[in-house]
Structure 1
C-alpha cells in the first residue's frame, strides 16, 4: 500500500518510528506505556493505520514530544495559506482537529489547530506535553482540568497545563475554536539529529 509522505498517516509513520527509536523503546514497551495495541502501533509505523486524536495525544504524552514532532510541519514562507478543504482532519471521540501551522520564536514553539467539538460530545485527554490555549469562536464549551471546570462562550479564552487530565464538552451544539499548544524549544525531539535513522530497538 502506497502512503503519501505528506498525509497525516505518512508523516506519522515516519516520525513515530524515529521518535520511538530516539527514546530507545521497543514496540512492546511503547504499547505497554501508551496502552495502544502493538499491532496498532505496527500499522501506524507502516502507514496502514488510521490515527485518532486519542492515539496521537497518547503517543505525545509517552514519548514526551509535541504533537507536531509526530505530524511534521509545513515550511513557513512570506505568505502561508492553509485551505480548509486541503487539510486532513484528525478525529477523536468528540473533537475534529485540523493542524494549521507551527510557529517557532526564541524558546517558544506554538502549534495552531482549528478545533471543532461535535454537538453533545466530550473529548477526554489523560494529558500530554505543553501548555494548552483555547479561544472559543462559536458555541458553548465546557472545559474540565482535573478538578476544575469552567464554561466558555464565544470570545472566551482558557489556558492550562496540558500535562494534567482534561476534557472538552460541547454544551450547546457544535463548538468552533482555535487551539494553541505551546512548548519550550528544549521539549522538542529534533528528528533530524544524527543517528536517529540508524539502528532501531528490537521490534519485540
Structure 2
C-alpha cells in the first residue's frame, strides 16, 4: 500500500514539472494551499475524491499519483486521441507532448489548402522553436521575412519573433512545432495583410534568428 510520503512526493513532482505553485493547484482542485502543502510533505492523507480533483488540476491520471512502480513513459498516444484545437479554414493543431511537461512542448499542425495559424502573426514567450514541414508546401512569415518550405525543410527561431504559417500548396500540409522551454498563451501581432508577401530560401539565415 502506498504511503502518504510517496503519494505526496508524486504530487509535488507533478506540480513542479508543470511549473505551478501550491496556491494555483490548490485553487484548481478546490482544496486549501495548507492542506496541499501538508499532503506533499506526507503529513496528511487525502481521500480518493480529493486525489481525483488534485490529479485533474495537475493534468495527470489519478493512477499516476498512486503508481507503485516508476513509469518511464506515458504510453502510446494514438493519433485519433491527440487533443486538438481548431485553426483557420478547418485546419487543426494537435498536442503531442503530454502534460505535465518541463523541457519541451510538441505540436503537429494540419492545414487545409489556404489554411493558416491565423490572420495575423503571433508570439509566445522567448523560447527556442523549431518548425519542421512533414508534408505539403507552406509559407512561413517570420518577422519581416518569408520562407517557402516543403517536406523535411526545417527552421529554428525565437518564439518572440512574430510568426505565421499558411498552406500555399494544392494539398493538405502538416507541420511540427518543437518549443523549448514550453510557453503559455500566444499573443497575436496585428499586421497589414495587404502587404505583398515574397518567397525566400527555406534555408536562408537571417541576422535576427
TM-score, normalised by the number of residues in structure 2 = 0.48
Structure with higher strand content: 1
Could you say which structure has the greater relative contact order, defined with CA pairs below 8 angstroms and 6 or more residues apart? 1
Larger Rg: 2
TM-score, normalised by the number of residues in structure 1 = 0.49
